Amino acid sequence: MNDVYPVALNLAGKSCLVVGGGEIAGGKIDALLRSGALVTLVSPTVRPSIRDLATEGRIRLLNRPYQQSDLDGCFLVVAATDDRSANAKVAGDARAAGVLVNAVDDPPNCDFYAMALVRRGDLQVAISTNGLSPAFARWMRERLDGALPNEYGDLLALLSEVRQELRAHGPIPPYERWRAAIDDDLLGEVRCGAIELARTRLVQRLAGLGPSPAAGFGRAAATLSPTGLVSLVGAGPGDPGLITRAGLERLRAAEVVAHDRLVDRRLLAEAAIGAEIICVGKAPRQAGWSQAAINELLVERARAGKRVVRLKGGDPFVFGHGGDELAALVAAGVPVELIPGVSSAIAAPAAAGIPVTQRGLSSTLTIVTGHEDPGKPNQSVDWSWLARAPGTIVVLMGLDRIEAIAARLVAGGMDGTTPAAAISAGTLPEQQSVVTNLAGLGEAVGDAGLRSPALIVIGEVVRFPERLKRLKQLADTESRSRTYEESHYA
C-alpha cells in the first residue's frame, strides 16, 4: 500500500456533503463545521442532535435517501452510512464527478482519510494509520493529548505575532535561529503567563543569533531591558507530593528559588540544574532574613530578568507573609503571580484523620496564629471571643505557647474537656499526634515530646477518628459473624 500524502484542507466556505445520519456522521459534521465548511447532510433518518443543528441553521438537512445529484457543486463528500454497499455507491458517483470522497472504514473507497487530531489552539497534530486502524489512531491521539503541554497553543500565537513583526522590518530569520530560540525556557515563560517577557527574550535571541539579524530588530533588541517574573508559590503542608501541578511547573522553570526553612529537600531537588537556591527561612528566636531583605532579594533578581520562585510552606496567604511580598513587588513594578498551595491548617488534620468540618460536628472553621503572645495586653488574637465561637479552631505556630493558649480559652469560657489534638510534622513520614482535651493538651504534648512544626486542633471534630474506629470495629464484628454463620451452616 502506498503512503498517503498528508495535507491540511482549507474548507472555509466550501460545500461538503455528508451521507448518513448516525453517530459517525455526527462526528464528521462537527469536524467539518469546525473547519468552516458549508455542510449538507442527506439521510432518511437522523439523530436528534443532527436535527438540532439543522434547526439552528448550522447545516442544511435533506431528510431523504441519497441521490447522485446531491454531489453537484460539492468539494468533498463523506459516506457515513452503516451500509457498506451504499457507501461504495456514493464513492463511485463521487469519483466519476471528480469530487473527493471518504467512505468511512472502507480504505479502497477513500481518496482521503480523516486524521485523528490533537489541538492546542491553532496547533494541530494529525495522526494517520493509512486507514488501517482508526482505533489505533484514536488511542495515539489520547496518549499525545495527555503529553503535549496546553501552552503550546499560546507559544504558537506568540511565535506568529513575532514572525509578523519581523516580516514588517525585513527578511525573516532562517530556521536555525528559530530552532535555537524556541526552547523549554521560552515555553516556561509562556506557561507562567509572562508573555511580554517571553516576547522580549524571543526577539533578542532572533536578533542576536547569526550574522544577519532582521533589519531594525538588532537595534531594538539592544535597548530592551527585560524584567523577570516572581511566582509566589505555595509548597504545601510538607509532603512534596502535595504541591500543585502549577507550582511544580513554576519550580522546574525557575532560575532562582527563594525558599522557607521547612520546605522539603526532595521538593527543592525538582528545581532545574543550575538554578540559584537560596534559603530565606526564619527560625524561632534566631537571627535570619528580615522580611525587608527577602523583598529586596525578590525585586533585585526579577529586575535582573530572572524567573524567580518564592517557595513558601503551605499557602502564601495563610500566615505566610505572601501579602507583604506581593505588595512590595507590585510597588516595585515587578511582574508577580500567586500560585496557591495546600494549607497545613487543612491538610495536617486530614492526614491525622480529622476533618476540620463535619456534618453534625462542625460547620465553621477558624484559623488563628499562635505566634502572638497570649499574655500581651493588646494581642491581635481575641482568645476570649474564640472561646465562645462555634465550630473548629485550628491554631498554627502555637506549640510553644500551648499552655498559655489553653488557659486563655478556658478563662474565656471554653470547657476544659473540649476535645483537642496537636499534630507535628503533618503529612510527613515522621508525623506524630496526641489527642486529649483542652485542659490536658499542654501536658500531653510535653509527655509525647512533640516538636515544631506543629498545629493545634480544638473542637468536636477531634473525636471523628474515634468514631471511625468504632464503626470499623462494628463492621469487623458483623463480618466475623457472617463468616461464622456461613461456615456453620455450610
Catalytic residues: 260, 282
Report which of 251, 206, 215 is spatially closest to residue 232, judged by C-alpha positions: 251
Report which of 259, 190, 275 is spatially closest to residue 229, judged by C-alpha positions: 190
| Chain length of the chain | 490
User: b/e map of 431-450 (b: 16 or more CB within 10 Å)?
Assistant: bbbbbbbbbebbebbeeeeb
**Any idea what DSSP says for residue 236?**
B
Interacting residues of 395 by C-beta distance below 8 A, sequence separation 6+: 368, 369, 370, 405, 455, 456, 458
Q: How far apart are CA 337 and CA 324, in angstroms?
A: 13
Can you say whether residue 314 is alpha, beta or left, with left for phi > 0 and alpha for psi between -120 and 50 degrees? left
474 phi, psi to nearest 5 deg: -65, -45
Residue 39 near residue 25 (C-beta atoms within 8 A)? no
Residue 349 near residue 394 (C-beta atoms within 8 A)? yes
Q: How many CA atoms lie within 13 A of 468 on its CB side?
A: 10
Taking the alpha carbons at both ends of the chain, their separation in whole angstroms is: 64
Interacting residues of 484 by C-beta distance below 8 A, sequence separation 6+: none
**Beta bridge pairs of residue 17:** 40, 77
C-alpha cell read off for 361: 460536628
Residue 424 near residue 451 (C-beta atoms within 8 A)? yes
Q: How far apart are CA 470 and CA 385, in angstroms?
A: 34
Q: How far apart are CA 12 and CA 10, in angstroms?
A: 6
Collapse the DSSP code of 164 into the 3-class scheme (helix H, G, I; strand E, B; otherwise coil) and give the result.
Answer: helix
Interacting residues of 347 by C-beta distance below 8 A, sequence separation 6+: 236, 237, 238, 242, 426, 427
Q: How far apart are CA 274 and CA 256, in angstroms?
A: 9
C-alpha cell read off for 230: 516572581
